[in-house]
Amino acid sequence: MTPEEIKDADFKKKNINGKFPLLELADGKTLSESVAIAKYIARVNAGSKLLGKDEFENAQIDQWTDFVNSTIIKNLYGAVGPIFGHPGQADAWAEAIKNIKDAIRVLNNHMTGRAFFVGDTVTIADIAVVTALALPMQLILDAGFRKGHAAISTWWEKFSREANVVKRMGNVVACVKTIKPLFPKKDEAKKDAPKAAAAKPAEEKKKEGDPLDELAPSTFVLNDFKDFFLNCGDKAGAGMKHFFEKYDNAGYCIYFVHYDKVEGEGDKLFLMQNMMNGFLQRIDHFRKHTFSMTTILGDEPNLDIEGVWMFRGKGIPAQMIEHPQFEYYDKKELDVSKPEDRKLITDFWCAKADESVINGKKVRDCKTHK
Ligand SMILES: N[C@@H](CCC(=O)N[C@@H](CS)C(=O)NCC(=O)O)C(=O)O
């Protein structure tokens, strides 16, 4: 329908909740609510098995359509809206995603050892679930999550490929990684709502600064180290010696990170370079309290992204936690008192593309974040 037709007064009278789908019969009667429409169509089609083989199966279908509506569909807008650029808040988005994932755990438990949601053939329950999961599968439920929820994921992959489903829903491809929305930074949000910001007490405003700026001074001055190290001709020798002598373990921390790739990733160097560069670009604003070397290692088709990051303070800072891709990295805190960790830090920070070998893997590309 066109926007004009939707606004038409006669149509508005028929469309009691103003939403779609709306079924209009030949005699002019109308019906809204997708599940009610689906059931009606099944009921008037003699011999349809879509409503189950008895009253109990029919009630089980209701159980699943109600469940999906009150969990997944209820949270769908909150979960996918911000991905499409609709206004939203990070906390509310995370809550919507959590609610959807909680519901999927229930579906997964139910589908373990089953081919259909109810009984031994396709019913409206399967149709309701496959369509409810179309957007979450494309945008949210990444390969890692699906791997951990194999029963529902396998069922969805198979059923969504059925010719009759593809005919109506299209060829829906599940995502490899969750598409994360970009929420405005606190400062930008303030710009958009100057009155609200002005009303905040001064003390609260102060809290919004970077807590790393407020830390007790350290004997290890990051900028001095960067100046010395980056200009040092003998990084692995004099450069690292200087670092280990000056490093202040109480004021900083160091992590080894390894990108947890999924099937199909790591096969082409240029794709891994795009991924590494994209990852670093998104943290470009955060240099003041960090230093790192990120590398691409190994051989096609089994390349890896690994690196060693140093941060001011103890623990991974909020700036990294908020990075939309950082959760896909395994992290291990390094201890400069251990020779093997000192070697790892040295290997990464002194890495040279097409020259260095780290843990038996050749370094193909590397980028310093300084
Ligand atoms: N519970 C209803 C939900 C209907 C609904 O929210 N439809 C959306 C499209 S998926 C709509 O028409 N939105 C337009 C609007 O709200 O103006 C159903 O299952 O049919």
Instruction: Give the chain as a 3 state SS string.
Output: CCHHHHHCHHHHHHCCCCCCCEEECCCCCEEECHHHHHHHHHHHCCCCCCCCCCHHHHHHHHHHHHHHHHHHHHHHHHHHCHHHCCCCCHHHHHHHHHHHHHHHHHHHHHHCCCCCCCCCCCCHHHHHHHHHCHHHHHHCCCHHHHHHCHHHHHHHHHHHCCHHHHHHHCCCCCCCCCCCCCCCCHHHHHHHCHHHHHHCCHHHHHHCCCHHHHCCCCCCCHHHHHHHHHCCCCHHHHHHHHHHHHCCCCCEEEEEEEECCCCCCCCCHHHHHHHHHHHHHCCCCCCCCEEEEEEEEEECCEEEEEEEEEEECCCCCHHHHCCCCHHHEEEEECCCCCHHHHHHHHHHHCCCCCCCEECCEEEEEEEEEC
CATH code of the domain in which 161 resides: 1.20.1050.10
Res 202: pLDDT: 43
For residue 13, being part of any structural domain is answered with no
Q: Is the pLDDT of residue 200 over 70?
A: no
User: Which of the pair, 201 or 312, is modelled with greater confidence?
Assistant: 312
Q: Looking at the domain assignment, is residue 359 inside a domain?
A: yes
What is the tally of structural domains in the chain? 2
For residue 21, which atom of ligand 1 is closest to its CA?
A: 20
Task: Give the model's pLDDT for residue 199.
Answer: 45
Least confident of 12-21, 129-138, 200-209, 218-227: 200-209
Q: Is 88 in the same domain as 154?
A: yes
Residue 48 has a pLDDT of: 95
| Residues 363 and 234 reside in one and the same domain | yes
Pocket of ligand 1 (CB under 6 A): 18-21, 33-34
| CA 179/CA 182 separation, integer angstroms | 10
The pTM of this model reads 0.58
In this structure, are 242 and 356 located in the same domain?
A: yes
Q: How far is the CA of 49 from the centre of ligand 1 (A)?
A: 26
360 and 258 in a common domain: yes
Average pLDDT of 227-254?
97
Shared-domain flag, residues 140 and 265: no
Residue bearing the bigger pLDDT, 183 or 232: 232
Residue nearest to atom 1 of ligand 1 (CA): 33
Same domain, 228 and 318: yes
pLDDT at position 264: 75
Among 138, 169, 200, the domain-final residue is: 169
Q: For residues 71-82, give the mean pLDDT.
A: 97
Quote the ligand 1 centre to 19 CA distance (angstroms).
4
Q: Residue 203 pLDDT more than 80?
A: no
6, 17, 19, 67: residue to mutate for ligand 1 pocket, most atoms within 8 A of CB: 19
- Please report whether residue 5 resides in a domain: no
Q: What is the pLDDT of residue 208?
A: 64
**For residue 186, what pLDDT is reported?**
58
Q: Which atom of ligand 1 is nearest to the CA of 33?
A: 20
Report the alpha-carbon distance of residue 2 to residue 8 in Å, rounded.
10
On whether residue 301 sits in a domain, the answer given is: yes
Q: Is 334 inside a domain boundary? A: yes
Check pLDDT > 90 for residue 188.
no
- Of the residues 169, 197, 227, which one is the last residue of a structural domain? 169
Q: Using CA positions, which residue lies closest to atom 2 of ligand 1?
A: 33
Establish if 331 belongs to a structural domain. yes
Residue nearest (by alpha carbon) to ligand 1 atom 15: 19
Given the DSSP bridges, would you call strands 252-259 and 302-312 parallel, antiparallel or unpaired?
A: antiparallel
- For residue 23, the CA-to-ligand 1 centroid distance in Å is 13
Q: Is the pLDDT of residue 162 over 80?
A: yes
pLDDT computed for residue 321 by the predictor: 86
178 lies in a domain? Answer: no
Please indicate, yes or no, whether residues 129 and 244 belong to a single structural domain of this protein.
no
* Domain of residue 241, CATH code: 3.30.70.1010
For residue 21, report the distance from its CA to the centre of ligand 1, in Å. 7
- On whether both 329 and 224 belong to a single domain, the answer is yes
| Same domain for 244 and 160 | no
Per-residue pLDDT, 302 = 95
Rounded to the nearest angstrom, the distance between the alpha carbon of 46 and the centre of ligand 1 is 28
Same-domain status, 231 and 365: yes
**Domain residues for 160?**
49-169
Q: Is residue 25 part of a domain?
A: no
How many angstroms separate the CA atoms of 293 and 316, rounded? 16
Residues 108-145 pLDDT 10s = 999 999 999 999 999 999 999 999 999 999 999 999 89
From the CA of 17, how far away is ligand 1's center (Å)? 8
Q: What is the average per-residue pLDDT within 50-61?
A: 98
Residues of the chain above pLDDT 70, percent? 94
| 261 pLDDT tier (thresholds 50, 70, 90) | confident
| Rounded distance from Cα 72 to ligand 1 centre (Å) | 14
Residues 90 and 150 in one domain: yes
Task: Tell me: do 134 and 222 sit in the same domain.
Answer: no
